[in-house]
Chain A
């Protein structure tokens, strides 16, 4: 399947600082990338859809000024958690796709475990 790489896999940061997470498509060009968040013992919740060269689309209840998304190239999207607080501690996962119904969005990156202390 399509290869999506996410970095870092784990990060611990102090409350009030910002953290950047990268999502790369390694063997295809991703016109769209998706960012999910998963709290313990819960399912994946879509946070935002990132389109190359345009603004991200955020799901209801997700603060766009807090979760900054940049999709500057066809292989890289970044999610920056600004002014992180302990309640932002979660597992963040990305997926990427090319085309409308290509099926490549089925494949996820390894995920990033964020802990805010």
Chain B
């Protein structure tokens, strides 16, 4: 997506913590979304940030800094089933308040 960057791939060990970063450049920012997508399936909504700070939801947390155009998704106590693609999406007035997706980060969890 336009000006939304995230790493292509990451590998982590079962039980560990992993942080997936997303940077964006846009005007009229109106929210950042994180999704999990397993191969062959539709994306599943994980989190939504519109204000600066950390949102925690179980093993998953998401952080936003609007001034830096930066977000991260933090996954704790990694499980094998967390192996998936993680998509960052931005909503902004520049995009007509539609969601624009990053290319996604493929996370591989190894035992």
On A, residues with C-beta under 8 Å from B are 1, 6, 34, 42-46, 49, 91, 93, 95, 100-101, 103, 105-111, 113
Q: By the criterion CB–CB under 8 Å, are B43 and A93 in contact?
A: yes
Q: By the criterion CB–CB under 8 Å, are B98 and A43 in contact?
A: no
- CB within 8 Å: A-B pair count: 48
On B, residues with C-beta under 8 Å from A are 1, 30-31, 33, 40-45, 48, 87, 89, 91, 96-104
- Residues of chain A within 8 A (CB-CB) of B96 are 49
The 6 A-B pairs of least Cβ separation, nearest first, read: A111-B42, A43-B101, A108-B42, A44-B101, A106-B45, A43-B103
- Residues of chain B within 8 A (CB-CB) of A6 are 42
Q: How far is the CB of B101 from chain A (nearest CB, A)?
A: 5
Q: Which of A1, A46, A100, A113 contacts B99 (CB 8 A)?
A: A46
Q: A6-B42, A44-B87, A106-B48 are in contact. List 14 more A-B contacts (CB 8 A).
A: A42-B103, A43-B1, A43-B87, A43-B101, A44-B89, A45-B101, A46-B99, A46-B100, A49-B96, A101-B31, A101-B91, A103-B48, A106-B45, A106-B99
